[in-house]
Amino acid sequence: MLIDITHLKPGEEGVIKEITGGTGLISRMQNMGIRTGETVKKISSHFWCGPQTVEVGRCKVAVGHGVAKKIIIEVER
């Protein structure tokens, strides 16, 4: 099932399939370790439209809600 990071529950993980955005956004995400094919685990999210904290590899990264909606991942549910 393909979803964006905002729909993950804390502790749930999946594989990044696509980053929908321009070259600037994709480059910024790659610099933070968020790349297609990487496994990402959701650590936490803030109420409503706050930042989403995810773990990629051994790094924890916080991304804004709008950016998180552009990171499409595959999960097994």
Domain ranges of the chain: 2-74
Which residues does residue 55 pair with via DSSP β-bridges, in sequence order? 41, 60
Instruction: Collect contacts of 29-38 with beta carbons under 8 A, ≥24 apart.
Output: 29/63, 29/67, 29/71, 32/56, 32/59, 32/61, 32/63, 33/57, 33/59, 33/61, 34/61, 34/63, 34/71
CATH number of 2-74: 2.30.30.90
When pLDDT is cut at 50, 70 and 90, the band that residue 77 belongs to is confident
The Cβ of residue 55 has, within 10 Å, a number of other Cβ atoms equal to 15
At residue 19, the pLDDT reads 97
Q: What is the pLDDT of residues 11-68, one digit of tens each?
A: 999 999 999 999 999 999 999 999 999 999 999 988 788 899 999 999 999 999 999 9
